[in-house]
Structure 1
Amino acid sequence: MTPETRRTFLKVSGAVLGGIATGTTVTAAERTDRFIVETKGGSLPGDLEVIHEMPGVDFAIVRASEPELQDARGVRDYAPDVEIRLDDPDVNEEAPTVDETSVADEPFYPLQWDKQALDVETAHETTTGEGTRVTIIDTGVAAGHPDLEVNEDLSRNFTGDGLGSANPAGGYHGTHVGGIVAAQTNGEGVAGTAPGTDLVDCRVFSPGALASFGDILAAIVYSAMIDADAANLSLGAYPVPRQANGQFYGRALNSTMTYANKEGTLLVLAAGNDAADLQHDKNFISLPNEGAQGLSVAATGPVGFNWGDEGLEEPPTSPAFYTNYGTNAVDLAAPGGDADLEAAEAEVPGWYFDLVLNTIAEPVYETDDDGNVTGIDGSVYSYGWAAGTSMAAPQVAGAAALVKSANPSYDANQVESALERAADVPDGYDKTYYGSGFLNIVDAL
């Protein structure tokens, strides 16, 4: 069966396969208490409460009502802040976790088909990412996980929820993403692509909440301010109409991303999991995936790794069933995990081996009598499987750290160029799903 035929079958039949199909499609929800404002000449509106100043760009995030904005000084234009979700296929909810204590003496590299496909072992003969920095703009990266080293001094909480940073306050997702980038090669657990990089947590999700677009923009600016070589954004909102406020959001995003790129920070973005053709959806935009100066990453994955009776049905380089695509909308493809949905529905042993295995940390929350989260009372550290372009993007962010480490004089565009020049579209597959091709770290080095 050709890849295109298989993809069409999955897109049509996924909805009837037990609910573990493609990611849901949602439009970003507007907030009524916060606004993104375009300032006049970069001057902050002094009569409004500024949440994020964002130096370097002519935008700021403020808390205000719309009448207050209309009368405010220094405001050129504005739009409501919007909320953005994590964007992973529902299949992740069915994947198991592995207790950390059961693997302390047995590294999981043999189960990391993603790192094997990228040949990170050979790449590490050149560099492990020393002298570089990567920020994870996500739910939080657990500094306490035994397989991670997180720069707690530089880590920031952008949500205003008071729960701190360098912890998984918003859920396990950010710790999984951070591990894909930089899990330590310390003789236990799993390996990351760039274990030598300086990993920084930029938390934009609170417990049970969506992320505010304004917080994400502020985290991008902060990443540039601390000289991050790459910032990973495994999040998104789609579809957002291009008209009306969509034009303003696109302008704010493009301004912020262009600033970060100019400052040397390569922005690595998950393409999304709606199985959508981003090339031909002219009336909609995907935030932040379609912003200027970003590197958009689609997902690939095997079917049958370590569990199929006849070996691999699909190789690790084949497009994942859920990934967004589009020749000029996607820049690279990288391992994000795939799944045989019928096998998952039937709970065939080992079906989840086709997902991506890495670090997770699940927070233990303190709550009040009404169930509201008031604090974090530790975390449970372990390893788990997940799939999505959320998992593909950090493969590229880690690779960017390796390229930058080996070429310290490279700017963000040169790092991206090196990654794209080294990539190739696998034989028998359509460029639509790959952009420049499948990530090739060794050749990029």
Structure 2
Amino acid sequence: MSDQSRRTFLKAAGSAVGSAALVSGTVSAGGSETPNTRFLVDLREVSRSEVPEDVEVVHDIAELDLLAARGDPEAVPGTASTTPDVTVYRDSTYEGGPVKERDAKARGGNGPAWDSGAPTATELQWDKREQRVGDLTENPGDGKTVQDTTKGEGSRVAVVDTGVYDGHPDLADVVNAELSENFTTDQYDFRPNGAGDHGTHVAGTIAGTNADGEGILGTAPETEIVAHRVFSGVPGEGASTGDTVAALAAAATKGCDAANFSVGYPPANPETDEWVSGVKMAYRRLAEYARSQDMLIVNSAGNAGIDMTPDDVISLPTEVEGIFGVSATGPIGYLWDDKQASREDKALVKLEDGTDSPAFYTNYGEGTDVSAAGGDADLEAAANDVPGWYYDLVFSTVVEQTENGPVAGYGWKAGTSMAAPQVTGAVALVRSLRPDASVEEVEAMIQETARDAPGGELYHGAGHLDLRRLVKRAR
């Protein structure tokens, strides 16, 4: 299927999804306020003492001179003192294929119960194989892998998302439960608790430990993850700007080297969408604070398939100065024939589109700093359930909520959500080698070592992430 037809399909499908995902008690981007609404209070426009007592403060984000509040925004004096607390969305587009349960340990076995003859978990990780992250092949040759130099030891990154399931065998030793936190208003902890496995998938891409050699290997398996949950486990409730800004600011305060933020907003027009200026202001202050604490915010560029360059289109928070935006790439045809003879790295050269080709859904243009592996899809193949079509998505850790509790597994997702954690893992590698490197130095190393890719600067910014060149520069 042509690149253009795949993009056109997504725009139609994406708008249908976005319009259905509104948060109760919050203003959606383009929606209307509910009586008990959430809003942000700018303490540079109004003093704390002027905020009425019947306005509930949900988050006091003192580092940014902001409050996330609930109540009547008109009760706060000053027309410029409040802005709507709009809904945020997870930047993943597709899920596909059967979820592989990692239940052998529960049955007393030694590893996952893969179907006989099916690709193993490590074989399905094209994103890590293209980067030669670790020894995932049976015939690695004489070349060094990225993890021969560093595995991210000594670094710390935040995953601001749906929560991270630290009971997954590939994540059990990397999540700092003491520092992890729930930033929603529900009663649960930092784990997903019904909020979905998006954050768990992201975490595996960053720091999966491949616990027994048959699981997910992350870019930086020896980094430490701080899980900040901003999506609620309560049905009908989602994530708000106030929750996410508070969570990101707290990540910087906790000494994180990077914060993965695979979250965004629908494309907006800054001239007609009134919420844009207030939200942009919040993220601008956030970026300034994060950078003052030497933390890089890594953000997914969005999945609307749009050029973010025109002045009448804006994608937040990617386009805010100081936030590192990542577009997505992916292959078409990886392991589709599913033959043993084509396994290992041979599969990376038998592709219709290369792993660094722009994904059909990715935003591009203004705000794109680099591209990274987020997965792609041939929609005709997906619609016709062609065997293996989902192998072009990103394979990582997932969790399913069941009546008997959470069940760890592996599954496929695609989106700029899946591309951002590739870069977050890269930051962990750099900071492991150069703990005193400034944010500006880390950014420069990632961009200067990125390689040229199909579509050029428009789709890839400085280029496509290249971990081998990066760690060689950082040593």
> What TM-score do the two structures reach when normalised by structure 2?
0.83
Residues 330-369 of structure 1: matches in 2 within 5 Å?
Answer: 330-364=368-402
Residues 352-391 of structure 1: matches in 2 within 5 Å?
Answer: 352-364=390-402, 378-391=405-418
Counterparts in 2 of 1:13 and 1:359: CA distance versus 1, 3 Å: closer
Q: Is the 8 A contact 1:230 1:266 kept in 2?
A: yes
Task: Confirm or deny that 1:7 pairs with 2:3.
Answer: yes
Distance of 1:154 and 1:14 partners within structure 2: 38
Residues 100-249 of structure 1: matches in 2 within 5 Å?
Answer: 100-101=102-103, 103-104=111-112, 108-121=121-134, 122-148=145-171, 149-187=174-212, 188-207=214-233, 208=235, 209-243=237-271, 244-249=274-279
Counterparts in 2 of 1:260 and 1:231: CA distance versus 1, 3 Å: same
Which residue does the alignment assign to 2:81?
77
Which residue does the alignment assign to 2:41?
37
Q: 5+ residue gaps in structure 1?
A: 366-376
Distance of 2:191 and 2:252 partners within structure 1: 19
Which residue does the alignment assign to 2:117?
none
Cα offsets for 1:280-303 (capped at 9, x unmatched): 2x2232222222211100000000
- What one-letter code is carried by the residue in structure 1 that aligns with 2:163? G
| Counterpart pick for 1:415 among 437, 442, 450 | 442
Distance of 1:30 and 1:105 partners within structure 2: 49
Cα offsets for 1:225-280 (capped at 9, x unmatched): 10100000111111233143311211111111211111111000000111011112
Counterparts in 2 of 1:109 and 1:211: CA distance versus 1, 3 Å: same
Distance of 2:193 and 2:3 partners within structure 1: 34
Counterparts in 2 of 1:273 and 1:13: CA distance versus 1, 3 Å: closer
Which residue does the alignment assign to 2:351?
312
Q: Is the 8 A contact 2:270 2:314 kept in 1?
A: yes
Q: Is the 8 A contact 1:42 1:57 kept in 2?
A: no
Cα offsets for 1:147-193 (capped at 9, x unmatched): 10311101110001011113453101110011111111322311001
Distance of 2:302 and 2:11 partners within structure 1: 18
Q: Is the 8 A contact 1:299 1:389 kept in 2?
A: yes
Task: Confirm or deny that 1:300 pairs with 2:308.
Answer: no
Q: Is the 8 A contact 1:337 1:386 kept in 2?
A: yes
Of 160-169 and 331-340, more deviation after overlay is shown by: 160-169
Distance of 2:33 and 2:157 partners within structure 1: 30
Distance of 1:179 and 1:30 partners within structure 2: 37
Distance of 2:204 and 2:32 partners within structure 1: 32
- What one-letter code is carried by the residue in structure 1 that aligns with 2:97? A
CA RMSD of aligned residues (A): 2.4
What is the percent sequence identity of the aligned residues?
Answer: 39
Distance of 1:348 and 1:273 partners within structure 2: 23
Counterparts in 2 of 1:152 and 1:133: CA distance versus 1, 3 Å: same
Which residue does the alignment assign to 1:321?
360
Q: Secondary structure at the match of 1:329?
A: coil
Q: Is the 8 A contact 2:161 2:228 kept in 1?
A: yes
Distance of 1:241 and 1:22 partners within structure 2: 15
Q: 5+ residue gaps in structure 2?
A: 20-27, 105-110, 115-119, 135-144, 339-348
Counterparts in 2 of 1:343 and 1:133: CA distance versus 1, 3 Å: same
Equivalent pairs counted in the alignment come to 419
Distance of 2:188 and 2:69 partners within structure 1: 21
> What TM-score do the two structures reach when normalised by structure 1?
0.88
Q: Secondary structure at the match of 2:86?
A: strand
Which residue does the alignment assign to 2:140?
none
Structure number having the greater strand percentage: 1
Q: Secondary structure at the match of 2:368?
A: coil
Cα offsets for 1:25-64 (capped at 9, x unmatched): 5562455422101103895346342211112212111122
Distance of 1:400 and 1:169 partners within structure 2: 29
Q: Secondary structure at the match of 2:62?
A: coil
Distance of 1:406 and 1:185 partners within structure 2: 22
Deviation at 1:15, TM superposition (A): 7.4
Deviation at 1:14, TM superposition (A): 5.6
Q: Is the 8 A contact 1:275 1:322 kept in 2?
A: yes
Distance of 2:192 and 2:71 partners within structure 1: 30
Task: Confirm or deny that 1:61 pairs with 2:91.
Answer: no
Which residue does the alignment assign to 1:443?
469
Distance of 2:70 and 2:10 partners within structure 1: 41
Counterparts in 2 of 1:288 and 1:325: CA distance versus 1, 3 Å: same
Distance of 1:324 and 1:49 partners within structure 2: 37
Distance of 1:23 and 1:109 partners within structure 2: 35
Distance of 1:211 and 1:345 partners within structure 2: 31
Q: Secondary structure at the match of 2:382?
A: helix
Which residue does the alignment assign to 1:370?
none
Q: Secondary structure at the match of 2:260?
A: strand
Q: Secondary structure at the match of 1:381?
A: strand
Distance of 1:168 and 1:261 partners within structure 2: 31
Deviation at 1:380, TM superposition (A): 1.4
Q: Secondary structure at the match of 1:154?
A: coil
Distance of 2:438 and 2:48 partners within structure 1: 30
Q: Secondary structure at the match of 2:289?
A: helix
Of 434-443 and 117-126, more deviation after overlay is shown by: 117-126
